[in-house]
Amino acid sequence: MASEQPTEQPTETQGGSLADRISKPDESKPSEETSGDQTDGAPKELGGSDLHEPEYNVEVKLSDLQADPNNPLYSVKNFEDLGIDPRILQGLSAMNFRKPSKIQERALPLLLSNPPKNLVGQSQSGTGKTAAFVLNVLSRLDLSTEQMQKTPQALILAPTRELARQIVGVVQVMGQFLTGIAIGTAVPADSNSRPTRLECSVVVGTPGTVMDMIKKRIMVANKLRVLVLDEADNMLDQQGLGDQCIRVKGLLPRDIQVVLFSATFPAHVHRYASKFAPNANEITLQHEELTVEGIKQLYLDCSDDEDKYRTLVQLYGLLTVGSSIIFVKTRVSALEIEKRMVAEGHTVASLTGGIEGSQRDSVIDKFRAGEAKVLITTNVLARGIDVSTVSMVINYDIPEIHQPGGAERQADFQTYLHRIGRTGRFGRVGVSISFVGNREEWNMLNQIQQYFNTSIQRIDTKDWDEVEDIIKKTIKSSRSQSNYGK
């Protein structure tokens, strides 16, 4: 169970106690820059990006600090110091992880301590959170018998099938040297397929499908040791997903280790998270403000919806300089734009929650591989997806909070941040362009500028040469500035 000593972890006699094996941080020395050869998000095989660390402070809040005022904040400078299985270290090496990122320095000792403790972690994209929770998962597996290899021991939940499949890729690469590891994906099946019993040690999936599989006994949950929620604020805040996550947790062993990670944690969700993961250690990245550096934010004035479409078509040549994602409000408009553009001879693909699972997998795989360069989607791809070639994001419709009968349309700040974060990944430069088609959209754009205390530059569509010049110059710049993020 969750409190047992996992067989994959060396015993204390081999490496000393956890306290002995972990060095305290040297506060007198400035932390080194992380080498650019680490990766997080999607592995290289799936077209992922380099990990990039801006300067920030990691703040740790230990759940039992009050009980023990002398409890030291430990930090780790080398993966080897954690006493983890050498085969997992081999996997880390294969992913080009040379030393822990700042979030990993503090998170890993807390995650790997025994008996296991819950953790609530807030960290921006590209800081190594996926690798941190995957390393913990792999370290807690018992793969000593064929029976245990076929028994789910860790469950990782994500809001979309695309993010779930991306996490599977990270588990596969990091765990490739572990004998007997099997990874199952619990995402909605195509309507004509029959689900079979999940015989694997790690399950990655979406909440509704996992709940269904446990209830139908397709997935056995009584040996689970670790539960991870990625994009936890989205998982616990959304009405449907939040209810499903609570139900799933109710079907799991009571002593399971709960790990929550997200880039953003609004106050009301954070309060809820502390109930979902009781007595948790907490890690936050202290930022002066939310980071949108490295992304050139622009907007275009359009007279109406038809003008938005004409503008998009004119932008097509620039959209294919790298790869681009076009975010729209509804599935209907995604399909409509795709149909029109294809009819006019442009190559585009669309991905929404309304299409069959295997077709969604095929579309995102082609986009990752560069076979499709322009992807039209809804908010289904706004979070967590890492494709390094994405150089432009179009907000065809500005993200807004759905409030029936609301007087004034309200911009969705978190979704805007997550959407534009699909480009400019980990230190690269990206461009985001928002289309403004009426007074209400103009007001929402202003709300976004005020919230992030940033300026979104207007570009004049009357002079397309100038538009092309601005965008091409930004995309072709290899890095934003030498002092990015400092």
Q: What's the pLDDT tens digit per position in 81-121?
A: 888 899 999 999 988 888 888 788 888 989 998 899 999 98
Q: How many CB atoms lie within 10 A of CB 83?
A: 20
| Core vs surface per residue 5-30: b (16+ CB within 10 A) or e | ebebbbeeeebeebeebbeebeeeee
C-alpha 427/C-alpha 482 separation (Å) is: 10
pLDDT in tens, 53-71: 555 566 666 665 444 444 4
Domains defined along the chain, listed by start: 58-287 (3.40.50.300), 295-478 (3.40.50.300)
Q: What is the mean pLDDT of residues 366-395?
A: 84
Please give the Cα distance from 270 to 67 (Å, whole number): 22
* Whether pLDDT at 148 is above 90: yes
Q: How far is CA 226 from the centre of its chain?
A: 18
Measured torsion, CA atoms of residues 240, 132, 478, 311, in degrees rounded to the nearest 10: 0
Q: What is the pTM of this model?
A: 0.75
| Six token digits for residue 218 | 């397709």
- What Å distances lie between residue 33 and 27, 442, 468, 477, 486, CA to CA? 15, 40, 35, 22, 11
Look at residue 31 and tell me whether its pLDDT is greater than 90: no
* Length of the chain as a residue count: 486
d(CA 411, CA 399): 6
Q: Which of 388, 380, 393 is nearest to 319 (CA)?
A: 393
pLDDT at residue 12, rounded to an integer: 35
Structure confidence at residue 314 (pLDDT): 87
Of the given ranges (154-158, 368-372, 384-388), which has the lowest mean pLDDT? 384-388
Q: In which band, very low, low, confident or very high, does the pLDDT at 312 lie, cut at 50, 70 and 90?
A: very high
What value does the mean pLDDT take over residues 293-310? 87
Provide the mean pLDDT of the chain: 79
State the pLDDT confidence band at 125, using cuts at 50, 70 and 90.
low
CA 396 – CA 394 distance, rounded (Å):
6
Query: DSSP label at 302?
Result: -
pLDDT at residue 434 tops 90: yes
Position 222 scores a pLDDT of: 95
Mean pLDDT of 149-161: 94
Cβ atoms 236, 229 nearer than 8 A? yes
| Whole-number pLDDT of residue 4 | 36
Q: Contact 335/14 with Cβ under 8 angstroms?
A: no
Regarding predicted confidence, which is higher, 408 or 439? 439
